[in-house]
Every structure is written in structure tokens, then in C-alpha cells.
Structure 1
Amino acid sequence: MVNLLVVTTLFPNSVQHRHGIFVETRLKKIMETGQVNAVVVAPVPWFPIKSKYFSQYSQYVDIPSKEHRNGVEIYHPRYLVIPKVGMLLTPFFLALAIFLTIFKVRKQGYKFDLIDAHYFYPDGVAVALASYFLKLPFVISARGSDINLIPNYLLPRKMILWAASKAQASITVSSALKEKMLALGAVEEKIHVLRNGVDDVLFSPKNYQQMRHNYSLKRATLLSVGNLTELKGHDLVIKSLLELPDCELIIVGGGELDKPLKQLAETLGLSERVRFMGTLKQPDLVELYSAADLLVLASSREGWANVLLEAMACGAPVAATSVGGTPELVKSPEAGVLVKERNASGLVKAISKALSLNIDRDLTREYAKKFSWDQTVENQINLYTKIVESHA
């Protein structure tokens, strides 16, 4: 039995239900084997007051210091984030919060064999700092922007490479992300590609016609799922509707571009064909995946886009930009098509092609089921066990 300590700022909580849900899903699948016990330390930024003028940050006030989800004990210590200079200082404040929390939890009788950190910066760097005093081996999982974007800054890049050198192993969710790490100068022998899988029981198709009736869908339905930020490209999907008069669009997600995207749809005269659903829980997403004719992902970068497998498992093929690990996912006609150019015109071409193929939804689901969690979970536990035994 491996006693695992999971440390990450990307983990769902009672306020942010989908925040880092991919980390929780992986942990859930690992614990289902009965070979791993886990406690989670998921720090959140400190914010002093709850105010309607700071709605994005005020939500942190409502997150409890401790909670339980799916039988797992989760701690939410606070750490300081200073505007403008926070990028360089945050790993140190985060390391302090992690160290103090683990010290307190250990005094309660918990014993840990290994730290499993998710997201290289600041989380992985903070764990590398804290582990120096905790004397625990650790692994760090790269997720996407932590390797695709943050290393563009000199000091964070140096800290990421330092943390990778101190870790017993680095995990990437795609081969593309591994190549990015190698390009930065990481040691190949320490990098393990362990992709995310899909829960094909949770993400199982509901009746297509019934779901379309429930949501009053009349046209070919496109679905765009993700945080409402620039990198997800929701604006490009909206603009593509100008050349797709027979299509309607449902957007799922929340974020800073909520109002601008709604304004864009109105300015383009598309409000009647664009529906904003906000942030949804997984059972609601299953209904929309089941009702959609096509999931459209217009991201500028991705590590491993879980929404692609979720949609496919519910029978919806995809049209997705060829970035990050996406080409490793969309490799067969029944999966959908890759978008060659990340602009509205490129999306129109890909969407039109995908819809014209009339892809069999049953074949799409069967394709997704090839990406089960079984092999990933087995390899992850083997890696944990090897590290723990070598440090016994």
C-alpha cells in the first residue's frame, strides 16, 4: 500500500466544482485499485474579504480549510499571491503553506511515502522546495501551460528545470508535452508519458433525439466546452457561425470573457444561435455531449484535452485544433477531424467536413473506449511503488 500525498492548486472544491477535475478523476481511478491511500493538500490564494467588486477572488473566501470529497480528506491552506510580482514569489509562499500543512497533518498521525504534485509551476517548484525539509520523494505531473507557456519566462523556466532535476520522476499527459520538456533540457529517462483516460461509464451516451428535444435543438448543434478565456478560442467558434447558417452553438464554461463573448454574438447578429450555459457539472455535460452533433475545440494550446474524450465517449465526434496532445487523440475518421488553421475560416472548413461525414456515433464511442484508465493507472501505481521501494 502506497500512502500518497497529492499536492496541487488544481483540485475541485465545494465552490469550484470543476476546478482541476482531471486531477481528481485520476486520483479516484488510482484509489479504486485499493493499492493507494491518499490525502490531498490543495492550496488556494488568500483573499481578505468577500466583495461583489472582486467576484473572481471573493470565491476563495468561501472555500473551507478542510473538506471531504469522495472519501478523500482535502486541506485548503491559504498562500499569498502578490499582483505583478506574484509569478516569481508565489512558489515560495506556496511552499511555506504546503510545508506547514504537511507538518500539521503528520502530527495527527499520518505517514506519507510519496508526494504527487500536479502542474510544474508554481506547484511543482513549491513541492521541490518543501520536500527539502520534509525529506519525502516526489513526482511532478506536467499538464499543459506549465510547460507550453510559463517557460517562456527565464526565471520560471530555470525553476521548472531545477524542480524536474530534484523530482524522482516527471509525468506528462501526452508525448507532445514530453517533447516540450526535452526541448527545455529535462532528462529523458525521468519523464513518463501517462495520458488521461475517460470514464466511459460516467460519460455514456443518452438518447440523442430525447436530449435534443429536452434542449430545444433544431439545427446542427456545435458544442464548445472550456473556460471562457482567449486560449480556448470560443470567439472563433462564434465567428464561424457567420458561414454556417444551418448550425447553432452551445458554449459551456465560465470566466473573464463571459460578457465580451455574449457581446460578440449580439454584435454579429448571432444571439439566437448561440447559447451560453455557464459552468456545468458532469451529468449535465453528458446530456449536452449526447445532444451535440459536433464538439468544437479551438484552443491555441493544450496538454491533453479531456473534453475531446468525454464528448467522443458520449458519441459526439470532434473538430479540434492540432495543438499539444490533440493529434494523439484525433487519429481516426470516427474520432472527427483536426483543424488545420486556427481561425474562423479554418474552423468552418473543419466543421463542414466533419458534419458532411455523418460519422456513426456508436463508432465514435467505441473509439473513445480505447482510451480507458486501466493501463495508465497500472503504470502510475508501478511508478509509485518503484520510487517508494527505492527510498525505503
Structure 2
Amino acid sequence: MLRVLTLSTLFPDRNRPTFGVFVERQTRALAALADVEVRVVAGVSLPPWPLSLHRHYSGRRALPSHETLDELDVYRPRFCVLPRLEPLSGRALARAALPLLRALRREFPFDVIDAEFFWPDGVAAMHISEALGIPFSIKARGSDIHYWGARPTVRRQMVEAARRAGGLLAVSAALKASMTALGMPEDKIAVHYTGIDLDRFAPIDRSAAKAALGVKGSLLVSAGALIPLKGQRLVIEALAALPDATLLLVGDGPDRPALEALAAATGVASRVRFLGNRPHAELPALLGAADAMVLPSAREGLANVWVEALACGTPLIITDVGGAREVLRDAAAGRLVPRDALAIAAAARALLAGPSDQERIRESVSAFSWKRNAETLQEHLRSISRQRHQRGDDPAPFGA
């Protein structure tokens, strides 16, 4: 039996049901394997008292410290974070989690720590490993490397954690190259592609799906947080050159007021629908109805929504970032474009000129599955867990 402690600050909760849903799905697929047991520690960041009493943090304060979600035990230790003092977050998470983990080990003697994001999870895993003598793995997903890796104080901690880890994972070969460029050991990094529920994400009758949404003509969908990084502004600008098209924006974020103003200023407000955050269960119908999924991100690791759209038989219009070329290997599956509204509009016109081959597009991601993802992760973590027994590690005094 392999006992895994999954450490992830990216994990859904009752206030944010879609936050890190891909981490939850991977964790559940791993836990479903016959010879694996999993517990989840999803740290909750809060500023120190009395700042933590602000209404902005009321949802986080109300979260239970432990709950069982569909047979998955999730623990949520609170750890202290202050703006401009983010470089302390990894150690803060470790200190907050250690009392819980020492107690948890009495009933659940976990063999390995599976950190699901490099910052602060991966650095916290390093400190926890030092204290408990348990080997650890870290998975990189994109912004942890591209954003946090650009901050020298944080980058140094991440590289140290990478060197001490028993193994590392990257969601794409492109992200592996970025990790290596930061100074992380290339020989430790394995590419671990995301999974996809091919039963839920599947081609549907596109015309009927559009009619159910009250859409006539062409339909574009852009799914992602409404932040400058994702580039929805460019999609709205491109819509002005696509007079027959409607755009659905799935997601929410601080850019929403500016995007609404831009839609009005460019005369396309009547053809742009802001759907806000939607339950993940609604995404197959929205992606399946679309003639194309458009996401001109400035950076990505390998976006789950790319694979989900393709599984629905919906072609992509995306920028050449992260693992985009690892996903778009068939010209029928979409276009790679510059981060430019005119280029996006031109790609959309080309895709909308004729019906797409939904089954061919779906076939391009047939290798992605949660079963394969889980089995690969299991073998990776099992190989790391053996290191402890081979070395006979003893706990260090951190956090005693």
C-alpha cells in the first residue's frame, strides 16, 4: 500500500468550487487506485490578526479545518501571509502544517509528500521533509515557474527545493525546459500530462447546443480567469471583425469591469456574454457548443481547458506558449496565433469557414486520461517513497 500526503494550496473549497479542480481530479484518480491511500492538506493563507477579520477573508475563516469530501479527507491548516513578505510563505505553510502532520502520522503513516504546486507548496514540502524524514515530489504547473520563478528570493528557495526533492514533475516538456533554465536538475524532471474525463467531455450536436444557449451564427468560447494574462481583451477586439459571432466568457476576475467597458466601446456588447464562474460540470456543454475555444494567454504550462475543448471536438485558437505545440499536433485541431486581435480574427475566420471534424479533433487528445495520469503518478511517487527506506532518513529538528 502506498500512502500519499498531497500538499496543495490549489484545491477547491465550498467558496471556490472550481479553484484547482484539476488538482482535485488528479488526486481522486490517484486515490481510486486499488493500492493507494491519500490524504490532502490544502493550506489556507490568511494575513495576521486583526487583518484576517476583514470581510474579504470571511469565506476562508469559515472553512472547516477538516472535512471528508466524497471519501477524500481534506485538512486545511491556516498559515500566515503578508503582502510583500511572500518569500516567507513556504516556511509559514510548513510550520502551520507540521503539528497536524505529526498527529496524522499516528493513524496515517504516509510514505511520500506530493506537492502539487511549486510555490509555496514545494518549498513547504522541503521543510516538512526535513522535519519528518519523508521524501517528497513537486509538480510544476505553469505560473509557479513563470511568475514566482521571476522573483529572485522565491526562485532561490524553489531551486533549493527542486534539488532536494526525490523527483519533479512538469505538465509539459516546454515547462520542463523552463524549470531547467531556472537551475532545476533536468534529470529529476519527468513530464506528467494532465488527464481528461473522456466520457464527460465528448462531441455533442453543436447546432442543438447553440440553440439551447439561444445563439445564432458562430460561437466562440473563452474559458479562464478574467485577468490580463489570459488575453480576453484581444478576443473582444477580434470580435469586432467577426460580425456573425457571439462570444461566451467563462470565468471571473478583476478584469471584468474593464472588459465590459471594452465590449461596449467596440460595439460588440450585445454579442459578448459574461457567464462568470460556472460549475465544472457545465463546461462540456459550453465547450461542445462552440465553433472554437479562444485563449490567447501570455503564458501557460499546459492548460486543462485546451484538452477539454479538444475532447469535445472543438478546435483551439491559442498562443504559442507552454505546451501548446504538444497539444496542437494536428492542423484540424486549431491554430497557434500571435497575441494580436487581427491574428485571432483571421484564425477564427479560417476555422469558421467550414464544419470542423469533431471526431478527428477529439482523437488528437485520446492519449490523455485520468487513469493513465494516476498510474504514472503512482509509479513516480512509489519510486520516491523507496528512497527513504534505502537511505534510512531520520527526522531533522525543523519546527520541533
Task: State the TM-score, normalized to the length of structure 2.
Answer: 0.93
**Aligned pair partner of 1:276 in 274, 277, 283:** 274
Instruction: Please give the root-mean-square deviation of Cα atoms over the aligned residues, in Å.
Output: 1.5
Identity level (%)? 37
Partner of 2:291: 293
Residue 84 of structure 1 deviates from its aligned partner by 2.2
1:145 and 2:143 aligned: yes
The residue type equivalent to 2:384 in the other structure is I
Contact 2:166–2:387 (Cα < 8 Å) also in 1:
no
Contact 1:203–1:310 (Cα < 8 Å) also in 2:
yes
Contact 1:98–1:127 (Cα < 8 Å) also in 2:
no
1:26 and 2:26 aligned: yes
Contact 2:203–2:358 (Cα < 8 Å) also in 1:
no
Residue 357 of structure 1 deviates from its aligned partner by 4.8
Contact 1:253–1:277 (Cα < 8 Å) also in 2:
yes
1:132-190 Cα offsets, whole Å, 9 max, x none, are: 11111000000101112222221111111100011000100100011111111211221
Indicate how the Cα distance of structure 1 residues 319 and 101 shifts in structure 2: closer, same or farther if over 3 A, else same: same
Residue 287 of structure 1 deviates from its aligned partner by 1.1
SS at match of 1:211: helix
Q: Which moved more, 1:88-97 or 1:1-10?
A: 88-97
Whole-Å separation in 2 of the counterparts to 1:160 and 1:84: 17
Partner of 2:217: 219
1:67 and 2:71 aligned: no
**Aligned pair partner of 2:314 in 316, 322, 325:** 316
Report how many residues are paired.
385
1:311-350 Cα offsets, whole Å, 9 max, x none, are: 11112111111100111101102311111x1021121122
Residue 199 of structure 1 deviates from its aligned partner by 1.1
Whole-Å separation in 2 of the counterparts to 1:336 and 1:257: 26
Contact 1:7–1:116 (Cα < 8 Å) also in 2:
yes
Residue 391 of structure 1 deviates from its aligned partner by 2.1
Partner of 2:379: 382
Contact 2:296–2:339 (Cα < 8 Å) also in 1:
yes
Whole-Å separation in 1 of the counterparts to 2:87 and 2:382: 34
Partner of 1:346: 343
Residue 124 of structure 1 deviates from its aligned partner by 0.5
Partner of 1:49: 53
Q: List aligned pairs for 1:121-140, cutoff 5 A.
A: 121-140=119-138
Q: List aligned pairs for 1:97-116, cutoff 5 A.
A: 97-107=96-106, 109-116=107-114
Contact 2:137–2:384 (Cα < 8 Å) also in 1:
no
Whole-Å separation in 2 of the counterparts to 1:332 and 1:21: 27
Q: List aligned pairs for 1:237-252, cutoff 5 A.
A: 237-252=235-250
Whole-Å separation in 1 of the counterparts to 2:30 and 2:384: 16
Residue 77 of structure 1 deviates from its aligned partner by 1.1
Contact 2:249–2:273 (Cα < 8 Å) also in 1:
yes
Whole-Å separation in 2 of the counterparts to 1:206 and 1:29: 25
SS at match of 1:284: helix
Whole-Å separation in 2 of the counterparts to 1:261 and 1:84: 28
Residue 37 of structure 1 deviates from its aligned partner by 0.6
The residue type equivalent to 2:117 in the other structure is Y
Residue 372 of structure 1 deviates from its aligned partner by 2.4
Q: Which moved more, 1:4-13 or 1:209-218?
A: 209-218
Residue 50 of structure 1 deviates from its aligned partner by 5.5
Residue 389 of structure 1 deviates from its aligned partner by 2.5
The residue type equivalent to 2:88 in the other structure is L
Residue 370 of structure 1 deviates from its aligned partner by 2.7
Partner of 2:176: 178
Contact 2:174–2:323 (Cα < 8 Å) also in 1:
yes
Partner of 1:165: 163
Whole-Å separation in 1 of the counterparts to 2:334 and 2:355: 10
Whole-Å separation in 1 of the counterparts to 2:78 and 2:204: 41
SS at match of 2:240: helix
Whole-Å separation in 2 of the counterparts to 1:228 and 1:334: 28
SS at match of 2:24: helix
**Aligned pair partner of 1:118 in 88, 113, 116:** 116
SS at match of 2:336: strand
Partner of 1:199: 197
1:230-269 Cα offsets, whole Å, 9 max, x none, are: 1011111111111111111000001111222112212222
Whole-Å separation in 2 of the counterparts to 1:381 and 1:11: 19
Partner of 1:96: 95
The residue type equivalent to 1:70 in the other structure is D
Contact 1:198–1:369 (Cα < 8 Å) also in 2:
no
Contact 1:50–1:61 (Cα < 8 Å) also in 2:
no
SS at match of 1:368: coil
Whole-Å separation in 2 of the counterparts to 1:375 and 1:65: 32
**Aligned pair partner of 2:234 in 230, 233, 236:** 236
Partner of 1:366: 363
1:255-310 Cα offsets, whole Å, 9 max, x none, are: 11122211221222211000011111122111111111110011000001100111
Task: State the TM-score, normalized to the length of structure 1.
Answer: 0.94
Contact 1:229–1:256 (Cα < 8 Å) also in 2:
yes
The residue type equivalent to 1:246 in the other structure is D
